[in-house]
Amino acid sequence: MTDCNSPAATTPSCPTGVNEAPRPLRILIVCTTFPPRGGSGIQRVYYQAELLAAAGHDVWVVTEDASGSWVTDDSFKPVHVHSDRIKRIPSRLTPLHRARRRIGKYWAAARLYPDDHACWRAGAFQEAARIAAAVDVVLVSVGSPSALEVAYRLKQKSPTLSLVIDVRDLWVGNPVRFGGRGRLQPMRALRDRINERRWFSGADGIINVSKNHSEVLQDRYSETPKERFHVIQNGFDEARFANAVPHRNDKSGLLIRYLGFLLPEQRSEVFFNALKEVADSDIAGGQDIRCEFYGGNPKFIEREARKAGVYDLVETHGYVEHDKAISLMMGADVLLLFWTNDPGCMCGKFYEYLRSGSYILAFDQNNSDAREVLEASSRGEWVPINNKEAQVAKLRELIELRRSGTPIQSDNLPEITEFSRQSQIEHLASILAATTTANALV
């Protein structure tokens, strides 16, 4: 297993430049989410396509027709991948598909309806098969079983075609099951596990975002050679941060922000109860602290804040375009990081938090991989999610630092350039090139 963020990043599997590949690669990316759609999971596949194309590789994309997306983001406009090479396949619901959706949430999802792109697969495979005749490698970005099924069928049709599976983080409907996060749908889990073995057994490369998840897959599929497993973490786009202007909203006191989805399993109620205790015990506490939440599920946040009695200290906002999100990160005193209980979940937002330079207050639910990165980068602190007293103490400490004018974050932070998207795409290109070379020798 290779990791492009390890100190050994100058090994042959992690070259120092994309141009070291013997020739430009011809790459087909299959994915079910792609700009102009916004939301979770977009950045990884967007930068894969854009930066590979910018490095001189020929890139095609087969993806969804995003005209009906729940949210769009004009911050992510493909520039280097020509629009003619982005093939958008509509998902047309037949009467049978509509009936299956109406049968019921659990039975339909578990037995009859694999995902929202089930009726996208036929058109996507037809278009992808036409393009695949002229490419070296297929990179499937996992966000749904349907995308994996299309890639698997391509590999069956053309065994000499290289297939690389990129298992993105778990916030994008990822069908691959890990230990900490799942749904109470045993039939669906069983079906996905059976299909997963088919998909992974034919892959020439398997990329994951964390060491933990990659090791889980290596143990699960021990018959697959270990050299086929790789780790490429999520990251940040240095150019976006270099041009961003911090945005503070003229707030006085300690300004805390959270950007992204917030779900019940992330246990935000503990933080809101800690916030309540701080505000009640310190007569100035409620005046010297303010929390802003940006992103999906604002109604849930409002309910939790009301329940804890801190609604007057909390502002909720919907989805904002990514360039604004970066300015909001850079303008905060503290960035909250709620997470699930999966030790290997590594969302892209985490690395942008790191790059922003703001202090990160993270809530630990056995997040071993992310904790290691945060501690090494010295950009914040983990507090146990269930320990309200520890959260209260930390909030009071941060308020006092802000009142006294003492910097919350050190000015002398370690470099984290290894987490830039530009650095990671070099590793990805080397993996894709290695798989095509290996297949050419067969």
pLDDT tens figures, 10-60: 333 343 344 444 579 999 999 988 887 777 778 889 999 999 999 999 999
- pLDDT for the residue 269: 93
**Low-confidence spans in the chain with pLDDT less than 50:** 6-21, 105, 110, 112, 184
pTM, two decimals, is: 0.83
Is 92 in contact with 121 (CB distance < 8 Å)? no
Q: Name the one residue in this structure whose structure tokens are 């830039």.
A: 420
- pLDDT for the residue 144: 80
Tell me the Cα Rg of the chain.
22
Is 85 in contact with 71 (CB distance < 8 Å)? no
Question: Mind listing the domains of the chain with CATH numbers?
Answer: 2-234+420-441 (3.40.50.2000), 240-418 (3.40.50.2000)
Is 380 in contact with 374 (CB distance < 8 Å)? yes
- pLDDT for the residue 395: 94
Q: How do residues 425-439 score in pLDDT, each as one tens digit?
A: 999 999 999 998 877
Residues 6+ apart with CB under 8 A from 184: none
Is 427 in contact with 5 (CB distance < 8 Å)? no
Is 364 in contact with 287 (CB distance < 8 Å)? no
Is 374 in contact with 382 (CB distance < 8 Å)? yes
- pLDDT for the residue 275: 94
